[in-house]
Amino acid sequence: MMINSKSLKITGKKFILTSLAAISLMGVGVGITTAVLNAQPTEVSAATDLGYLIRDYTPSEGDYKHSVPLPMLDLKVGQTKTIKVPQIKGYTSNVKTVKITEYGPYSMLSNYFYYTKNKSTPKAPAKDPVSYKSQKSSMQVRLVPGHDFYNHVPGSKYNAKRTHYGKTYKGRTVTINMTAKRPGVKTPYYRCVVGGKTIGWIYGGALVNVAKYKTVKKTATVVSKPTNNFYNHVTSSIYATKLTHFGKTYRNRKVTINMQATRQGTKTPYYRCSVNGKSIGWIYGRALSNVR
């Protein structure tokens, strides 16, 4: 028998949960079937401290108002039966069973039973599925970042709220002071700082390594078997890139170079090339020879 412990209103902290031990139920010749006054089912408030046992008291009508329901038994005079103590949600009884003996005009329990409120077990702090690592570097926000900045990594144990739209910082160089990896996601998140102020975490797909450009006047020859192609912008830069020509289209051709770009983390530069005065696009330096 399980008793829902949420709905009964009890107005004080010390109340008798009568076990009917040595109580004649108002002196009326009734059995254990009337263990609860007026046959009303009893529920105990979870907010009430039930850790009290009044061992010595004078039976009165009030004693029965907060009784717990006991099983309906049909015992003969002199007969004894062991029953389970009713369970109350959120509380633990001092005994698991009691014996009931029928004496005709009254029934008796072998001993008192009472309830003590269970102690709540503090929940363990939620484990963050995200792993973090300190980092010192600089990156650039794409012109079309496609992602926004948040106060925490989305999907971490923290409630993430947007701090800035990604487009607010498009093309800007940001300082990175920490990276974060989410399970199952290859691309990391980066915590970004601008002007000494943290602007938030953003998905790595919105950032690229910093590229530095300079104007030059050079010539070169496209190798005979180029594995790179020409694009309208430096690949993996802040710009969206499109293929302009296959590298093999200009194999062994001489090209003029008017600008070069060096991307952070890459030693070999990119070159913007033209043929007969017409720009054909940017290509990775390994596709060229005799650059001078």
- The CATH number of whichever domain residue 182 belongs to comes to 2.30.30.170
Phi, psi values for residue 206, rounded to 5°: -90, -5
Residue 55 included in any domain: yes
Clarify whether residues 221 and 253 are in a common domain.
yes
pTM: 0.58
Residue 126 included in any domain: no
Q: Are 223 and 288 in contact (CB under 8 A)?
A: yes
pLDDT tens, residue by residue, 232-258: 999 999 999 999 999 999 999 999 999
Alpha carbon distance 231, 244 (integer Å): 5
pLDDT at residue 155 is higher than 80: yes
Alpha carbon distance 243, 227 (integer Å): 14
Cα-based angle 185, 189, 191 (whole degrees, multiple of 5): 165
pLDDT tens, residue by residue, 72-126: 678 888 899 888 877 777 778 788 888 888 888 777 777 766 767 788 878 877 8
Clarify whether residues 11 and 114 are in a common domain.
yes
**The pLDDT value given to residue 280:** 98
Is 249 strand, coil or helix? Answer: helix
Alpha carbon distance 204, 142 (integer Å): 10
**The pLDDT value given to residue 85:** 78
- The residue out of 89, 121, 153 marking a domain boundary is 121
Alpha carbon distance 264, 152 (integer Å): 27
Clarify whether residues 14 and 111 are in a common domain.
yes
Domain range enclosing 261: 211-289
Residues in the chain: 292
Q: Is the model more confident about 63 or about 272?
A: 272
Clarify whether residues 104 and 148 are in a common domain.
no
pLDDT at residue 266 is higher than 80: yes
Alpha carbon distance 258, 76 (integer Å): 111
**The pLDDT value given to residue 68:** 60
Clarify whether residues 168 and 269 are in a common domain.
no
Phi, psi values for residue 63, rounded to 5°: -65, -25
Clarify whether residues 156 and 257 are in a common domain.
no
- The residue out of 158, 177, 209 marking a domain boundary is 209
**Model confidence band, residue 5 (pLDDT cutoffs 50, 70, 90):** very low
Residue 46 included in any domain: yes
- The residue out of 154, 177, 209 marking a domain boundary is 209
**Model confidence band, residue 29 (pLDDT cutoffs 50, 70, 90):** very low
Token digits for 16? 């008798």
- DSSP string for 116-146: EEPPPPPPPPPPPS-EEEEEEEEEEE-SS--
**Model confidence band, residue 63 (pLDDT cutoffs 50, 70, 90):** very low
Clarify whether residues 217 and 180 are in a common domain.
no
**The pLDDT value given to residue 91:** 77
Gyration radius from the chain CA atoms: 41
Q: Give the helix/strand (H/E) hosting 102.
A: strand 97-102
**Model confidence band, residue 64 (pLDDT cutoffs 50, 70, 90):** very low
How many domains are contained in the chain? Answer: 3
